[in-house]
Amino acid sequence: MAPRPRRDVIRHPLVIACAALTLLLCGLVLLLVSPKPSVPAQEPPTAQTIQAARDAIQQIEEPLSASGRGSEVRLDNRMLHGVTALASHIGGARTDARVSAGVLTVNASFPLAAGWWLNTSAMASGKHRGFPDLKLRAGRIPLPQVAGKWAAELGRRIAQAKGVRLPPLNEMVTELSVEQEELVAAIRLPNRGGIFDALIAAGGTGTNNRLVSEIYCHLAASQRAQPVTQLPLLVRRAFSGAPRLQAEAYNRAAFVALAFYVVGKRAYPLAPSTVQGIRSCGRATFSILLHGRADLAKHWTFSAALQAVLGNNPATAFGEWKELADSLPSGSGFSFIDLAADRSGLRIARLGVDQRSANVTARRLAAATEEDLLPVQLLRAEEGLAEAAFVHRFGTIEAKNYKAAVAWIDRELSHSQLEAIR
């Protein structure tokens, strides 16, 4: 009988192969990740940051040119910084973009576990017909130029899957030129603001479109039969039909339907696939009020819907950005009363879409009072602050004085009956 091969002889090459593969993977990981981010932490957004981002957005939202080549967008470094600073504020990643000497560079640092970071970069220069070719790098590894288009196409398909119509990449970006100190592009969108509809839809939790339509149309029919102007009464109608099973899905749809009804078109990106289905139901021409103010009703409902769809960080940030923008000369001033309405909507919606508290929240919203939605003592908060006054009093939205003012709002909100279910 032939002798059997010894086990240690068989294991030896397997051990070597496993060790080599492990070393190879470790080396690849070390090439990809870093203990430090390449993008430094951004300063908190200011009114000027938001204005710069608005200037960029306004160009993209302009109607298409008569030639059909698309809206011309010219982004300088001030605008690029504004857009990337706001993106960094609401996301975990740090981003930065700038044009220098005819080269566009976009850097992003993504936090990983145990304090490690994935640093990426994309570069473009010259003139391009259609979506540009990009020089990409992940960590220390250069990627093929086609990877940039793959990533952009994936984002477009995700947005389409959530109901947002976007044309193919080369039809959406018809031309792009990186000049000495600015980026110039021709952009075609299916409708005004379509790209921002896509960003919101792609980043949010999907709503039940059928439920949104049903609740919205129920509100519209109730208003025709028995009109009301007080937001608590409208909230009661929206939540009176909440089921005991899967209440969180119903509540999410109800918050969106309320925003559609009270705010109107500004809220449509939260569930764009629903818009066509609600048009036939109509909408009241008179304003819905909270403590006698239409703006507070809009702040509460829109913030609640943002929280329900996008989650806490983006929803909180949008409210603060709105107030910072209002502190500029064209606005009505930074209002802590508006901010209180925002935070009330955020906090209640957070409870409403949490499986553990969804049922109780729906039942209490079905009997909501004005005091439940916004305690009257918060109407004493400051408002009408111009940018210089806000900076002098509070600094930034990350400063100690500002956080103390927000903490007072939250303490007052915590006395609400709706908050007592925490």
Which amino acid type is present at position 211?
L
**H helical segments located in 263-399:** 275-278, 294-310, 312-326, 336-352, 358-365, 370-373, 387-394
**H helical segments located in 38-177:** 47-60, 77-90, 146-161, 169-172
For 143-172, how does the pLDDT look when each residue is reduced to its tens digit (9 = 90+)?
888 888 888 888 888 777 766 677 899 988
Angle, CA of 215, 363 and 211, to the nearest 5°: 20
What's the pLDDT score for residue 159? 73
Domain end among 151, 186, 203: 203
Residue 14 sits at φ, ψ, to 5 deg, of: -65, -40
Residue 42 sits at φ, ψ, to 5 deg, of: -80, 150
Q: Which of 407, 404, 409 is nearest to 374 (CA)?
A: 409
Query: Is residue 67 included in any domain, yes or no?
Result: yes
Helix 77-90 crosses helix 312-326 at what angle (to 10 degrees)?
Answer: 140
pLDDT at 11 over 90: no
Query: Is residue 26 included in any domain, yes or no?
Result: no
pLDDT at 67 over 50: no
State how beta strands 71-76 and 173-178 pair: unpaired
Judged by DSSP in three states, 190 sits in coil
What's the pLDDT score for residue 246? 83
Q: Which of 156, 153, 249, 254 is nearest to 197 (CA)?
A: 156
Q: Are residues 302 and 360 in the same domain?
A: yes
What's the pLDDT score for residue 66? 42
Which amino acid type is present at position 180?
Q
For 201-233, how does the pLDDT look when each residue is reduced to its tens digit (9 = 90+)?
555 667 888 999 999 999 999 999 999 999 999
Are 256 and 267 in contact by the 8 Å Cβ rule? The answer is: yes
> What's the CA gap between 333 and 100, in Å, rounded?
35
pLDDT at 243 over 70: yes
For 108-121, how does the pLDDT look when each residue is reduced to its tens digit (9 = 90+)?
999 998 899 999 99
Q: Are residues 263 and 288 in the same domain?
A: yes
**H helical segments located in 61-100:** 77-90
Q: Which of 48-62, 183-197, 237-251 has the lowest mean pLDDT?
A: 183-197
Most confident of 98-107, 135-144, 271-280: 98-107
Which amino acid type is present at position 278?
I
Query: Is residue 175 included in any domain, yes or no?
Result: yes
Q: Are residues 214 and 345 in the same domain?
A: yes
pLDDT at 252 over 70: yes
**Burial (0-12, 13-18, 19+ Cβ within 10 Å), 138:** middle
Mean pLDDT on 55-77:
73
Sign of CA dihedral 129, 131, 133, 135: positive
For 351-362, how does the pLDDT look when each residue is reduced to its tens digit (9 = 90+)?
999 999 999 999
Q: Are residues 187 and 57 in the same domain?
A: yes
Q: Which of 152-156, 337-341, 400-404 has the lowest mean pLDDT?
A: 152-156
- Selected residue with higher pLDDT from 9 and 72: 72
Query: Is residue 71 included in any domain, yes or no?
Result: yes
What's the pLDDT score for residue 91? 75
Distances in whole angstroms, Cα of residue 204 to Cα of each of 53, 119, 123, 313: 21, 25, 29, 12
CA 89 to chain centre: 10
The b/e string for 215-233 (b: 16+ C-beta within 10 A; e otherwise) is bbbbbbebbeeeebebbbb
Query: Is residue 36 included in any domain, yes or no?
Result: no
How many domains would you assign to the chain?
Answer: 2
> What's the CA gap between 415 and 376, in Å, rounded?
11
pLDDT at 421 over 80: no
pTM recorded for the entire structure: 0.85
Mean pLDDT on 87-105:
91
- Selected residue with higher pLDDT from 92 and 329: 329
* Paired tokens of 60: 């993209």
Q: Which of 36-45, 60-69, 307-316, 405-414 has the lowest mean pLDDT?
A: 60-69
Q: Are residues 259 and 215 in the same domain?
A: yes
**Residue 132 structural domain:** 47-203
Query: Is residue 22 included in any domain, yes or no?
Result: no
Q: Are residues 174 and 276 in the same domain?
A: no
What's the pLDDT score for residue 60? 76
Q: Are residues 308 and 410 in the same domain?
A: yes
What's the pLDDT score for residue 271? 87
Q: Are residues 318 and 350 in the same domain?
A: yes
188-191: which pairs have CB atoms within 8 A and are 24 or more residues apart?
188/64, 188/68, 188/69, 188/70, 188/71, 189/60, 189/64, 189/71, 190/165, 190/166, 191/165
Domain end among 203, 220, 239: 203
pLDDT at 3 over 50: yes
Domain end among 181, 203, 225: 203
pLDDT at 299 over 80: yes
End-to-end CA distance of the chain: 76
What's the pLDDT score for residue 157? 85
Q: Are residues 70 and 113 in the same domain?
A: yes
Name the percent of the chain lying above pLDDT 90.
60
> What's the CA gap between 199 and 219, in Å, rounded?
28
Name the percent of the chain lying above pLDDT 70.
87
What's the pLDDT score for residue 65? 45
